[in-house]
Amino acid sequence: MFAWHYWFVVSDAASCHRWEVWQTKNAGGSCIGHVHCDLKRPEDGVGGGPSRIAAAWEGEPARRIAAVLQNAGNYPWCERYRMWPGPNSNTFVAWVLREAGVDQALDPRGIGRKYRIAAR
């Protein structure tokens, strides 16, 4: 209710993967510190609430997002997590979108979405 946890689901005809930052390092799936691939199923909610689609991309924007996620080890805060003010799951999503050149506003409940900007 108070905060949102954003993540990415990347799917094509051959595979489907969920990418997110989790508060615990190496909690499951494939991990780079706090960055996880397939820790949870794509449709699983977080914090007791259901999941919902915030945005969907196809074509070139989707390919650019997928390419950034394939190099998730470049995320500058793989080894650091703070619920507030960040870096956290929403910081990761905002970073991926910036790196991919995809302009997408994240809801203000996405605490940490502006961490990079605030940290300057």
pLDDT in tens, 7-24: 999 999 899 999 999 999
Domain ranges of the chain: 8-119
What distance in Å separates the CA atoms of residue 57 and residue 54, rounded to the nearest whole number?
Answer: 10
Q: Which pTM value belongs to this model? A: 0.92
pLDDT (tens digit per residue) in 23-82: 999 999 999 999 999 999 999 998 877 899 999 999 999 999 999 999 999 999 999 999
Please report the pLDDT score of residue 1 as a whole number: 58
What distance in Å separates the CA atoms of residue 62 and residue 91, rounded to the nearest whole number?
Answer: 19
Q: Which residue has the higher pLDDT, 83 or 2?
A: 83
Give the three-class secondary structure for 84: coil
Sorted by sequence, the CB contacts under 8 Å of residue 111 that are 6+ apart come out as 3, 4, 83, 84, 85, 86, 88, 90
Phi, psi of 8 (to 5 degrees): -110, 145
What average pLDDT does the segment 90-101 reach? Answer: 97
Laid out side by side, the sheet with 30-32 consists of 8-11, 16-21, 35-37, 30-32
